[in-house]
Copies of this chain bind each other. A is one copy, B any other.
Amino acid sequence: MMMEQLLLSRASAASAASILEARSVAIVGASADPTKIAGRPLAYMLSRRFKGKLFPVNPKREEVQGLKSYPSLSAIGEPVDLAIVGTPASLVEGVIQEGINAGVKGFVVFSSGFSETGADGAALQQRLARLARDHGVTILGPNCLGVANSSTGLIASFTTALEETPMRSGNFAFVSQSGALGAYWMDICLRAGLGFSKWITTGNECDLDAAAAIAYLADDPETRVIGVYIEDIRDAAAFRAALKRAAAAGKPVLAIKAGRSSAGAAAAASHTGALTGDDALYDACLRQHGALRVDSLSSMIDIARLYLFDSVPQGNRVAIMSVSGGAGVLIADESEHWKLELPDFSPATHEALGQALPSFVSAANPLDLTGNVVQNTRSISLALETVATDPGNDVIVLFVGLMHSIASAFTEALSRVREKVNRPIIVIWIGAKEESLAELEQASIPVFRDIPPAMAALGQSLRLSDLRERALTLPEARGDADAPVESGSEASPTVCLSEWHGKELLRGLGVGMIPKGVLVDMDKAVGGLPGPLSYPVVAKLQADDLLHKSDIGGVILHIGDDEQLAGAIATLKQVAGGRQVRAHGILLESMQAFDQELLLGLRRDARFGPTLTLGRGGVEVELDADVVTRLLPLREHHIEDMLNSLRSARLLQGFRGGKPVDISTVSAHIARLCEIFLTHPDLTEIEINPLAVSGGNAWILDAVVRKFS
C-alpha cells in the first residue's frame, strides 16, 4: 500500500480515451482458438466488426483466426494504439517495454500475479506503473477483464458475458474494480434489453484507475448514465474530482461500494489486495458528490432504466392507475415508503374521468380502472390522456396484470399518450409478454415486473436528482489543507489537550461559542467566584489526555454559591489525588441555558482528508446514534442539510412547542469552525460534545482537541 501511495496514478480522462478509442489493436499471444482467453478478444472483435485494424501477435503462427499474424509488436510496422497483453506476469514488463519501443500508446493487461499475490507481485506492478509514468503511455490492469466500446466494436476483454448475448449499443457505461462484477453487469444489462456505451474494468489499477475512467465517461457523448463498482479508492481527490465532473456534465452516477458490513469489510480487505476504508466516509463521498449508492446490480439497472428512457420525473407527485384495486393500494403503500406524494386529481380531471369511465369507478388517486377495461378498451386511452394532462402530477405509474387479450390496447394508448404529453409513464405489468415490453420500451416507457422494484427505482431516481442538485454547489477541495493526513502513527504522534488548553487554542484561532471560563490553580485557595463569572457555574478538572473526566467524577455541575464552589474544588482535588490525574487546574465556567445538544466532530481521515460529523448529543448518541458525516469542504447550506437530515431534526425545528433552533445561524458558526480546521493542518481532531444550541447561539460546553505534538 505505502509504495503504491508514493506513486499515485496520473491517469486522466485522456488516458482512458487512449484505451477506449483505440482504432488499431494488437493482441499479444493471440490464439487461434476463439474459446480460449487469448483467442476471445480477437474472435469477439471479428464477429462484432471492430471498426479498426487488428494485429494478432504470435511468433508461432502465420495466421490467427483468418488474420495475418506478426512475430512481435515491433514487427507490425505501423502505428498501434493498443496492445492486449495476457502473458504470464513475469513477461508482462518486457512486452510493454517492447510495445513502448514500437510506439504503442496503450496496454490492457489481463495477466494476474501482481499486487494481489503479495510483495513480489506488488513490486512487479510498481515497475509497470513506472513504465507508464516515464513513457507517457497508459496501462489498464494488470489483473483486469479489459474494456469494451460498443460504438467501435472494441472488445479488449475475454469476458464470457459476451459469449452468447449479442452486444447492443446504448448510453449506459460501467466502471468496475472487479472483473467478475463487470461481467455480471454486462450480462444483466444486455439481458434487460439495455445497451451500453463503454465498459471498463480496472483491475489492480497500476495506472488507469476508476477515477480516470469516470472522468472520461463524464465527457463521453455516448454515455448518459454511469454505473460504478468500487472496492477501494486510493486517490480520493481524483475520485472526488471525477464525480464532480460527472455531476457537472449532468450525468447520474450509480455506485455499488462493497464492504458496508464489518464482515464484508474484512472480506474485502482480503480481496484483490484492496484495503477497504471506513464505509461511512465512502458513503459520504458518494452522496455529497451527487452519486447514489445502490445495493445490487439489479437495483442499479432498474434506476438506470428510468434515466435511459427519459422517465425520471421533475417532482415526486405520482398519479397511480391500475386495473386492480388491490395493486393500486400496494403501489400507494410503496409510494409512501419512498416519500412520493399522491395528489388529488384536479376538478377538470375528475370531471373528464367521470365521463370516460363507468359510473362505479371512483375518480380518485390511485385510480382503479377495474377489469371493466377489458370490455371498454377505449377508456384506457381516455383515462390515461386525462391524467397525463393534469398539471398536478409529475409521473404516471400504470399497473397492468396479465390482460393479454387487450395488450395492444394498452401499448397503443401508452405509446400515443407518452409521445403526445411528454410526461414520464412507468408501467408495472405482471405477466407482460415480451412483445408488449418491446413496444413500450420503443415508446420510451420503462416496464417493471412487480411493484417494489418499480417504486424503488422511482423513489431512488428522485433521491438521486436531489443529491445531484446539492452536489453542484459543493466547493472545490483546496489542496494541502484538505489533503489526507496519516495521524496518530508513530512517525507523527499527537497530543490530546485538556479542555482548557483546547478551548484556549480555539479561542486564539478566532473560534467563538466558548463560554466564559477561568482556570483556577490547583494549589491556590479560591476566595469566591472569579471576576467575569456568575453563578451557577460548573467546575471541571483539567489535564491533558484526560478524555472522560465526568466518568471519574471530574465534573461538578450547578454550583450555586461560594460555599458550594469551595466544596466542589475540594472534591475535585480529592478526585485528582485519588485517581492520580496530573491535573493542571480546575476550569470554572458559567453554566448556559440551552435548548438542544449536538455532537460535532472534525477529523482527518488518511484516505479522505478532513471530515465533519454532526449528530444529536446526549445519551441517545450511544443508544441509537443519529449522526451524519460529510467530507470537507462544505458550504453553509450543506451543513444546514446535514442538521436537517438528522432523524431528530424535528427537535431542532421546534418540536411540541419547543423553541426552534436557528439552524441557518448555527450552521454558519459550524462553517467557521470547519474553515479554521481546514486551514490549520496541525489540528488533527476537534470533538465537541455537547455543542449546546439555543436560537442562533451555540456554546462549546466540552471539547477535545487533538494536535500533532
Interface of A toward B, CB cutoff 8 Å: 35, 116-117, 160-161, 163-164, 177-178, 180-181, 183-184, 187-188, 191, 229, 231, 256, 258-268, 270-272, 295-299, 323-330, 332-337, 342, 360, 362, 364, 366, 368, 371, 401-405, 430-431, 449-452, 619, 622-624, 647-648, 650-651, 655-656
27 A-B pairs within 8 Å (CB atoms) are namely A160-B402, A178-B326, A180-B323, A180-B324, A180-B371, A180-B401, A183-B402, A184-B401, A187-B402, A188-B431, A231-B326, A231-B329, A256-B330, A258-B326, A258-B329, A258-B333, A261-B332, A263-B366, A264-B332, A266-B332, A271-B326, A296-B450, A296-B451, A622-B656, A623-B650, A624-B647, A624-B648
A160→B258 contact, CB < 8 A: no
Residues of B within 8 A of A452 (CB): 295-296, 298-299
User: Taking the nearest CB of chain B, how far is it from the CB of A282, in angstroms?
Assistant: 12
Q: Which of B177, B264, B299, B656 contacts A333 (CB 8 A)?
A: B264
A328→B117 contact, CB < 8 A: no
Separation of A322 and B656 alpha carbons in the complex (Å): 52
Given the known A-B contacts A260-B336, A262-B336, are A161 and B329 also in contact in the complex, defined by CB atoms under 8 Å? no
Given the known A-B contacts A270-B362, A402-B161, are A333 and B259 also in contact in the complex, defined by CB atoms under 8 Å? yes
11 A-B pairs besides A231-B326, A264-B332, A266-B332 with CB distance below 8 A are A180-B323, A184-B402, A184-B431, A187-B430, A188-B430, A231-B329, A261-B333, A261-B336, A263-B335, A296-B330, A298-B450
A297→B117 contact, CB < 8 A: no
Separation of A476 and B131 alpha carbons in the complex (Å): 78
Residues of B within 8 A of A324 (CB): 178, 180-181, 184
Given the known A-B contacts A231-B329, A327-B181, A624-B647, are A160 and B263 also in contact in the complex, defined by CB atoms under 8 Å? no
Given the known A-B contacts A161-B431, A261-B333, are A117 and B360 also in contact in the complex, defined by CB atoms under 8 Å? yes
B335→A261 contact, CB < 8 A: yes
Residues of B within 8 A of A267 (CB): 325, 328-329, 332, 364, 366, 368
Separation of A335 and B117 alpha carbons in the complex (Å): 28
Residues of B within 8 A of A264 (CB): 329-330, 332-333, 336
A297→B161 contact, CB < 8 A: no
Residues of B within 8 A of A188 (CB): 430-431, 450
Residues of B within 8 A of A271 (CB): 325-326, 328-329, 368
User: Taking the nearest CB of chain B, how far is it from the CB of A457, in angstroms?
Assistant: 14
Given the known A-B contacts A329-B267, A450-B297, are A187 and B431 also in contact in the complex, defined by CB atoms under 8 Å? yes
Q: Which residue of B lies closest to A626 (CB)?
A: B624
Q: Which residue of B lies closest to A272 (CB)?
A: B325
- Which of A178, A231, A268, A325 has most chain B Cβ within 10 Å? A325
Q: Which residue of B lies closest to A191 (CB)?
A: B431
